[in-house]
Amino acid sequence: MDSDEYKQKIREKKVINDTWTKGKLVQLAGAFYDQFVSGVVPHVLMPSRTKRNLEYSDTSEVWVYGDIESERSAKTVKGAHQLLKTVYVSDFVVSEHLKNNRGSTLRELYYISEGWGPAKFGAQTESDRLIEDLEIITGAQREFFHIRPEEDGATMYGPIQIREETKRGARDIHCQQDIGEGGYQIPFNVENIEFVKHDASMIIAVETGGMYARLIENGFDEKYNAILVHLKGQPARSTRRIIRRMNTELNIPVAVFTDGDPWSYRIFSSIAYGAIKSAHLSEFMATPDAKFLGVQPSDIVEYELATDKLTEQDIAALRSELTDPRFESKYWKEQINLQLEIGKKAEQQAFAGKGLDFVTDTYLPSRLKDMGIL
């Protein structure tokens, strides 16, 4: 685990480059080599990725893995295969991706292993999981291995000028003046982005494309100097990472605007606190400062929004959130209990029932004042 070194670099704003990543992977290979030489069965220790091993970090204010460790070892045939695959992937990343400045998708990586004989993956879930292991072991992020997700595609729109370092050269893009109405397409690796200048006093992360388009059409980004980020449902890593970077590097407050149902509260919590599956990345991707804007269950009552009845799944999800440490605050307990009581949920686009301007003229300014952002 080298995340301390990584965090130090981030603090010093030093670039995490291919040389650094290569060093980490070669170091891992070196460790196996040393184990062989000293007659030790090759193995690697890493934090156990279970709910039991999740703990709250007071310093970084996110949920991270604790001290329980699990071992990958060549003691068993299965374990030996696992380490062989780890070495094959490391070699591929170093000698193809980092050396030639190339990349592959997670899916391609699975197919690439076709030619690896006994190190061939049986299914993509296996190679995906190994990449996560490699992230944990090296303290790097898969983006540094030049491993891409299959689909991406979140966009942003607002008063910020960025410089994206692409393979074809640097691109200077102002996210209002230089782009079409669709917005700026966030690339899969946002470490390639430098923030040139901005005039933003808030970031509004928006769940649905419909509301994102509404805020742009109504000029909310101009009137309130807001950077609008379209989450497209459960946000991709790149989306969470760029939100965190703008929040921590530029000190811009973040408000998350979703539908008013338990699944949307999880979208908020993945932005604010991270996800169990990727707790090793929380310190790079979560934004503990992020605040939940709405739709709150209390808004459903106050604004008499058009609603749907909670389904059984909704109710079960709300109950599970009541025992989830990430929702362990007076605010969330009140809101979730209220929602269980009224038995209803509402979408953010339900504000359209009050006219096309209600959400930007009335609801958002009022909520942002409550939250101390306006």
Which residues are catalytically annotated? 111
Q: Which two tokens stand for residue 215?
A: 């805020």
Tell me: does residue 168 bind its own copies (CB under 8 A): yes
Q: Which is nearer to its own copies, 210 or 325 (CB)?
A: 210
Closest by Cα among 135, 82, 148 to 278 = 135
Judged by CB under 8 A, the residue of 24, 214, 244, 266 near its own copies is 214
Q: Residue 211: phi, psi to the nearest 5?
A: -75, -35
Q: Could you tell me if 168 and 49 are in contact, meaning their C-beta atoms sit under 8 angstroms apart? A: no
Judged by CB under 8 A, the residue of 19, 150, 312, 330 near its own copies is 150
Instruction: Please list the residues that pair with 105 across neighbouring strands.
Output: 148
Q: Residue 158: phi, psi to the nearest 5?
A: 165, 180
Helix (H) or strand (E) holding 107: helix 106-112
Gap between the Cα atoms of 178 and 183, Å rounded: 9
Tell me: does residue 224 bind its own copies (CB under 8 A): no
Tell me: does residue 210 bind its own copies (CB under 8 A): yes
Judged by CB under 8 A, the residue of 34, 69, 199, 217 near its own copies is 217
**How many helical (H) and strand (E) elements, i.e. helices and strands, does the chain have?**
16, 17
Tell me: does residue 161 bind its own copies (CB under 8 A): no
Amino acid symbol at 343: G
Gap between the Cα atoms of 221 and 295, Å rounded: 19
In angstroms, give the least distance from the CB of 335 to its own copies: 22
- # chain residues binding its own copies, by CB under 8 A: 54
Q: Return the HEC string of 57-71.
A: ECCCCEEEECCCEEE
> Which window, 29-37, 71-79, 210-218, 316-324, contacts its own copies (CB under 8 A)?
210-218
In angstroms, give the least distance from the CB of 260 to its own copies: 14
- Pick out residues in 87-146 that bind its own copies (CB under 8 A): 96, 102-105, 107-109, 111-112, 114-115
- For the chain, the first-to-last Cα distance in angstroms comes to 40
* Cα dihedral: 92, 93, 95, 100 (round 10): 130
Judged by CB under 8 A, the residue of 21, 127, 176, 335 near its own copies is 176
Gap between the Cα atoms of 142 and 133, Å rounded: 10
Closest by Cα among 198, 200, 249 to 221 = 200
> Which window, 13-21, 70-78, 284-292, 348-356, contacts its own copies (CB under 8 A)?
348-356
Tell me: does residue 184 bind its own copies (CB under 8 A): yes
Q: Which is nearer to its own copies, 172 or 334 (CB)?
A: 172
Judged by CB under 8 A, the residue of 142, 232, 241, 326 near its own copies is 232
Q: Which is nearer to its own copies, 46 or 186 (CB)?
A: 186
Tell me: does residue 180 bind its own copies (CB under 8 A): yes
By DSSP bridging, strand 226-230 and strand 202-206 are: parallel
DSSP at 316: H
Q: Which is nearer to its own copies, 109 or 275 (CB)?
A: 109
Q: Residue 96: phi, psi to the nearest 5?
A: -105, -60
Q: Which two tokens stand for residue 372?
A: 């101390």
Judged by CB under 8 A, the residue of 4, 5, 71, 178 near its own copies is 178
Judged by CB under 8 A, the residue of 73, 138, 208, 296 near its own copies is 208
Classified as helix, coil or strand, 224 is coil
In angstroms, give the least distance from the CB of 101 to its own copies: 9
Tell me: does residue 174 bind its own copies (CB under 8 A): no
In angstroms, give the least distance from the CB of 295 to its own copies: 13
Interface contacts to its own copies, rule CB under 8 A: 96, 102-105, 107-109, 111-112, 114-115, 148-153, 155, 164, 166-168, 171, 173, 176-188, 192, 208-210, 213-214, 217, 232, 306, 347, 349-353, 356
